Structures are given as structure tokens and as C-alpha cells.
Amino acid sequence: MATAVMTTLDPNSRSATRGMSDLTIRNLFIIPTIVFLIVFNIFPLLYSLGYSFTDFRASSPAAANFVGLQNYRELLNDPFIWSNFAITAKYVIVSVVGQVIVGFGVALLLNRDIPLKGLLTTLLLLPMMLSMAVVGLFWKLLYDPSWGVINYALGLGNFEWLSNPDMALYAVAITDIWMWSPFVMLLSLAGLSAVPKHLYEAAAIDRAGSFYTFFRITLPLVAPILMIAIIFRTMEAFKTFDLAYILTSQPTTEVISIRLYKMAFQEWQTGRSCALAYIVLIMVLAITNIYVKYLNKVKER
Amino acid sequence: MAAVRTSSEIGFNRVAIVAVLLVTIIFLAPIYWIASTAFKPRNLATTIPPTVVFQPEISPFVKLFTKRSQLRSAPTPEEYAAAPWWERVVFDGGEKIVRDGKGQVQWSGYPSRFMNSLIIAITSTVLAVGMGTFTAYGFSRFKVKGEADLLFFILSTRMLPPVVVAIPMFLMYRAVGLNDTHVGLIILYTAFNLSFSVWLMKGFMDEIPKEYEEAALVDGYTRMEAFFKIVLPEAATGIAATAVFCFITAWNEYAFALIMTNRRAQTAPPFIPSQVGSGLPDWTVIASGTFLFLLPVAIFTFLLRNHLLRGMSFGAIRK
């Protein structure tokens, strides 16, 4: 691949001496973005790191007092915060597992010659492009116990979804599954279409059963791309806020983002919420790190 | 595909096609329900059994854009006859349009929120894609020390939960008076989309052969001229796809908008749910507002269909 012609011109070459040097252009193109992101992404985080060691309340004019690690200590010993994390974990598991089953299942069904396949695929992808908050709101009407379409279609009578503490989290997860299964489907389809056809032909010649073909050929070859979908959805589900916040106000659906929002903007415990934000941040960075490493690995193949 | 197909395979294929159609119908049902409720008279929005066939009406859209109040008593026949068609529609629903002292029709909160959404989403998209294109070119063509780490840093800022970022941003914006301003949200959305735009654009830039510019450099172009005259036109499709993705993200964003705005710069996503207060909400009005709000995204999804995979995977997977 790499021949002398194709490598980047070195700064001393003839053409690079005309106009701006490559080095100048590189800096001109990259540095503003990095500076912008530092100012608006990193600086705020340092700002809140500082507040996380104080008892600051944004609602009161009182000055912030330094309290050391007290916020962190109290948060990590607070059973209610742990129950928020437990709710989040349950939500992540239910919704990601649901999305993988539905998304991968539909991808398997779609992975054949179907009339109007392109149109059907695009239509199936529509839910994930829409605003979670706005479409989520409408699921309130769909879930309504008296005139909701869901109860009518399933013949459930006046079954309570969102106002039922045991059911509300599942109802939110179902809406999330509806929105994001298409994402898993999209990635799975890409994985499935990349499986070489001759493998299936060879399996057919060997009279391998469809069960064997699926677990020995299809699944291992689609696994890397499916894994990307799973990590990405796990991360997003962990961060979930819009859907759960809009659909219900049950304590059983108080995922960690909602707790954080309430602590910061309703109870105005600013210092404490900064500490909680940092605990969440560290968790997200850990998952992101895994995700990006995995992305790069898949890219290199 | 294998040349010989058994009859059971063909049978299974038929079953699969029927199943796909069924799944598509189920997935589209909620969207159909929004669209159909947007054209229903109010009394048909919440019925048992649900109303599927009905005479479509435009009244929800009239109500969406106007401020209304309950009618205490029915309008006199003269009043009714003098009213334009859109006011009669509201009378028919047992409400009247609120007018100010000069008889001017009062707008509802919706049009201004919709405009805010447009202004903020478009401006932040232009900024994020503009900066992102330059930066992506820089990363794609030049050696950058610690490139992988920088790219990870760029991406990780987007991965944080919005509320985590919103707490310090709220405090900083409050200090400089940027809360509830268009500029405030535009900056936030630009920062949010910039990382995505760099990642996606870098993929598109990597695909443009370096030889194109190098030929131009040999022909006497400067690097800048080569970038603007050769690279940018080649990257046009990628720029367009990235822009649509950024627009949709900013258009749909809820948490930042909820926290950072309340009236002046409020966008549609926090406004639409706020209409569902206590009591019985008028779902036809909410549906019509939702319908108009979803329409641009639905159109863009069709335009973007060949790039969805790439965009949703941050450029990691290309067809």
C-alpha cells in the first residue's frame, strides 16, 4: 500500500512550502475544535468536580463550604442511591435483552429476498430517529388503562401500566425496546449480509441442520457487530432520562439520571449532585472505554 | 444462495415474509396512531373501542396554533356566521379563540417553540459540521501526536449523561446570563454534536483518495486550495449525511433543553410534554403538535436511509 507517493508530504517538500505549511493547516484545523471542547466539555466538569467537595446549594446565596469527601461518603453509603442504581441495572438488562431479541430476530427474518425490502427496512428504522421525549409522551395515551390501544389490542381490560409500581419500569422498557430494536436490527443486518454465502452452501452440502448452521456459522460471524450494538445500547440505557421521566413518576422507575436531575434541579443539593454526577461519570467512562476499544478492534479487521 | 431449494425452505420463506409484514405493522402502529389522532375530532381521540375509521379534521391544527378558552355560553348565530372557518371549528369544539383588546388572535406557545427548535438546531448543525469537517480532515491527512487518545477524548465528552454535563453548565450559564437563551443552547448542541461530526467526517475523509490532492499539489495548488477545491466537493455526500444526523440530534434533544430553557428559548421537545398537565389533556392538539414536529425527521430518515448504519455506529461500520 504505502508507497512514497501516497504518504503525507513532509513539511520541507516543495509543494508544502507554498501557501501555509501543512503544520500550520493541521493546527488551524484541529486546535479550535479541541479548544472548544475543552472550554465547553472539560472545563464544566472540572468546575463541578470542585463543587462536589462542597455543600453548595445553587438556590441559596450562602457561600459554599468545603466538606471534603463527605458527599461521596454519604452517597456511597446511601441505600436509596444504591436502589436507584439497582433500578437502572434492571432497566438496562430488560431493555437491552429485549432489543437484542427483537432486533436480531427481525434481522434474521429480513435477511432474505423480500419484495420491497429496502422500503420495509427504512420504515422499521423510523422509531429510533424520532424524539424520545415527544414520542414517549404519546405512549402515555397508548398505555392508558381505560382507552389505551394497547389494552384494547391485547384484551387486557383496564390493566394499569404506568401507574402500577410493579409494571411501570417494564412499560418504559417496552417503549425503549420499540424505539431501539431497529438499531440492533440495523447493525445485525449489516453483520448478516457480510456472512459469506459459500459457508451456508458448504453447510447445506454437509446436510447440517439449521440449528447447527445458526450456532456454528451465523452467530459467531455476526457476534462482533452484535457486540457493538449491545455495548452501545447498554451505555445509552444506563444514561436513560427522557422516557422514564416523561412516562411515569413512580419511585420504582427512578433511574439514576432522574435521581440526579431531582437532586440537582428540584432539591437544589448542588454540591451533592456534583458528587453523584462524578460517580456516574466514572461508570460511563469505563463503559465508553470498553466500547471505543472494541470499535477500533472491529475497524481494524 | 443454494441452487436447489427444498419445499420446506420456500414455505419458511413465505412465513418469514408474513412475519416481517406483521412486525412492520406493529412497529408503525404507534406512529400511525399519532398521525391519525392529529386529524381526529376531540371526542374520538379517547374512545372505547379506539376509533380507527373517521372523517379527518383540521381542527386540531387550528387549536394547536391558537390560544383558546372554554365557551361559557354558545356563540350567537350572528357571531358564528361572522367567524372565519377556522374560528367556527373551535366554536364547534366548545371553545373560543382568545383575542386581545384589538381583536388580534392570540397565538399559542407552539409556533414560537417550533421556531426556537429550527433556529437552534440549524445553527448548531452548521457550526458542528463546519468545525467537524476541518478537524476531520486534519486528523485524516496529518500525523497528530496521540491521535487515538484525542479521538477518544473527543468522543467521550458526548457519552456522558446530559444531566451530568447540565449541572455545571447551568451554574456557568447562570453566572454569565446564558440560561434560557438561544446562544446558550446553540453552544451546548454544537459541543455535543462536534465530537460526532469529527468521528463521522473522519471516516468520509479517509475514503477520499489522497492522490486527488497530491495530484493537485503537484499541479501547483496550495494545500488550502486543494482542500477547498478538491476535497470538499468529494466529501459533499458525507457532509450532508453528517449534517442531517446533527440536525436530528439537536432537534430531538430533551434533557438540556428542559434544564437550560423555560420560555424564551424553549424548544419543542420540553414544550410538547408540558401541555399534558392535570386534568384531561386534549390529545388531538398534542398529536398535531407532535405530528408537525416529527415530520421533518421522518422525511430526513428516508433521505438518509443509505447512511443510517454508518451514522448510528459513529462511522465504525460502513456498508
Distance from CA of B30 to the nearest CA of A (A): 8
Amino acid at A193: S
Tell me the residue range of the domain where B92 lies.
Answer: 67-106
Q: How close B190 gets to chain A, by Cα (Å)?
A: 9
Task: Calculate what percentage of chain B has a pLDDT beyond 90.
Answer: 58
Of B194, B220, B259, the CB nearest to A37: B194
* Mean pLDDT to the nearest integer, B239-253: 96
- Are the beta carbons of A265 and B270 separated by less than 8 Å? no
Task: Judge: B13–A123 Cβ closer than 8 Å, yes or no.
Answer: no
pLDDT at B96: 86
Distance of residue A126 Cα from the nearest chain B Cα, in angstroms: 7
One domain, residues B186 and B299: yes
Question: Do B275 and B266 form a contact (C-beta atoms < 8 A)?
Answer: no
Do residue B169 and residue B292 come from a single domain? yes
Best of B156, B163, B171 to mutate (most A CBs within 10 Å, chain A)? B163
Q: What does the pLDDT read at residue B24? A: 95
pLDDT of residue A16: 47
Q: What's the confidence (pLDDT) of residue A2?
A: 35
Distance of alpha carbon A287 from alpha carbon A280, whole angstroms: 11
Backbone angles phi, psi at B144, to 5 degrees: -120, 130
> CA of A107, closest CA in chain B: separation in Å?
9
Mean pLDDT of chain B: 89
Local confidence band at B4 (pLDDT 50, 70, 90 cut-offs): low
For A:179-208, CB contacts with B below 8 A are 182-183, 186-187, 190, 197, 200-201, 204
Instruction: Give me the phi and psi of B271, to 5 degrees please.
Output: -75, -45
> Helix (H, G, I), strand (E, B), or coil: what is residue A35?
helix
Please indicate, yes or no, whether residues B102 and B177 belong to a single structural domain of this protein.
no
**Closest residue in chain A to residue B310, using alpha carbons only:** A187
B residues 284-313 lying closer than 8 A (beta carbon) to A: 286-287, 290, 293-294, 297-298, 300-302, 305, 308-309, 312-313
Q: How many domains does chain B fold into?
A: 3
B144 and B169 co-located in one domain: yes
CA distance B316 to chain A (A): 6
Is the bond into B281 cis (omega within 30 degrees of 0)?
no
The whole-number average pLDDT for the span A14-20 is 60
Of the candidate ranges A9-13, B67-71, B208-212, the one whose mean pLDDT is the lowest:
A9-13
Q: Which of A120, A129, A190 is the closest to B248 by Cβ?
A: A129
The ipTM of this complex is 0.89
Question: Which among B319, B261, B257, B317 has a CA at the least distance from the CA of B293?
Answer: B257
B206 & B231 share domain: yes
Q: Give the Cα-Cα-Cα angle B160, A76, A170 (nearest 5 degrees).
A: 60
* pLDDT number for residue A292: 75
pLDDT at A135: 92
pLDDT bucket at B167, cuts 50 / 70 / 90: very high
Q: What is the pTM of this model?
A: 0.91
Chain A residues near residue B190 by CB distance under 8 angstroms: 36, 40
Residues of B with Cβ-Cβ distance to A228 under 8 angstroms: 313, 316-317
Q: How confident is the model at residue A5 (pLDDT cuts 50, 70, 90)?
A: very low
Largest pairwise CA distance in chain B: 83
Higher per-residue pLDDT: A301 or B97: B97
Q: Residues A13-26: what's their mean pLDDT? A: 71
- pLDDT-wise least confident of A68-72, A113-117, B126-130: A113-117
Q: Is the per-residue pLDDT at A88 higher than 90? A: yes
B157 and B288 inside one domain: yes
- Cβ contacts of A135 within 8 Å, gap of 6 or more: A127, A179, B30, B31, B34, B290, B294
Cα–Cα dist A186/A233, whole Å: 13
pLDDT at A9 over 60: no
- The contacts of residue A18 (CB under 8 Å, 6+ apart) are B220, B222
pLDDT at position B153 is 77
Q: What is the mean pLDDT of residues B95-124?
A: 92
Rounded Cα distance between A19 and A29, Å, is 15
Give pLDDT tens digits for A172-212: 999 999 999 999 999 999 999 888 888 888 888 888 888 88
Residue B139 with chain A: CB contacts under 8 Å: 30
Instruction: With respect to residue B19, please indicate whether it lies within any of the assigned structural domains.
Output: yes
From A96-105, A218-227, B252-261, B286-295, the region with the lowest mean pLDDT: A218-227
**Average pLDDT in chain A:** 88
Asked if pLDDT for residue B76 goes beyond 90, the answer is no
Structure confidence at residue A4 (pLDDT): 37
Chain B hits for A110, Cβ within 8 Å: 20
How confident is the model over A229-281, as pLDDT tens digits? 998 899 999 999 999 999 998 999 999 999 999 999 999 999 999 999 999 99
Q: Are residues B114 and B259 in the same domain?
A: yes
Decide if pLDDT at B194 tops 70: yes
Which class would CATH give A79-300? mainly alpha
* Cell (9 digits) for A98: 429485549
Count the helices and strands in chain A (H runs, E runs): 15, 0
Residues B75 and B122 in one domain: no
**Which pLDDT value is given to residue B193?**
94
Closest CA to A158 of A168, A143, A172: A143
Q: Is the model's pLDDT at A87 over the cut of 70?
A: yes
User: Would you place residue B52 in the very low, low, confident or very high pLDDT band (cuts 50, 70, 90)?
Assistant: confident
The pLDDT value recorded for residue A8 is 52
Query: Which of A9, A13, A52, A129 is the best substitution to test chain B (most B C-beta atoms within 10 A)?
Result: A129
Mean pLDDT of B149-177: 87
Closest-CA distance of chain A to residue B91, Å = 25
Identify the CA nearest to B244 among candidates B297, B201, B290. B297
pLDDT of B45 reads 87
The tens digit of pLDDT for each residue in A94-128 reads 999 999 999 999 999 999 888 888 899 999 999 99
Lowest mean pLDDT among A21-25, A139-143, A271-275: A21-25
Evaluate whether residue B198 is within a structural domain. yes
Q: Do B171 and A36 touch (CB under 8 A)?
A: no
Task: Evaluate whether residue B44 is within a structural domain.
Answer: no
**CA triplet A135, A141, A144: central angle to 5 degrees?**
140
Domain range annotation of chain A = 21-51, 79-300
- Position with higher pLDDT, A154 vs B318: A154
Partner A contacted by B148 (CB < 8 A): yes
Kindly report which listed range (A42-56, A286-300, B31-45) carries the lowest average pLDDT score: A286-300
B26 and B158 housed in the same domain: no
Residue B87 lies in a domain: yes
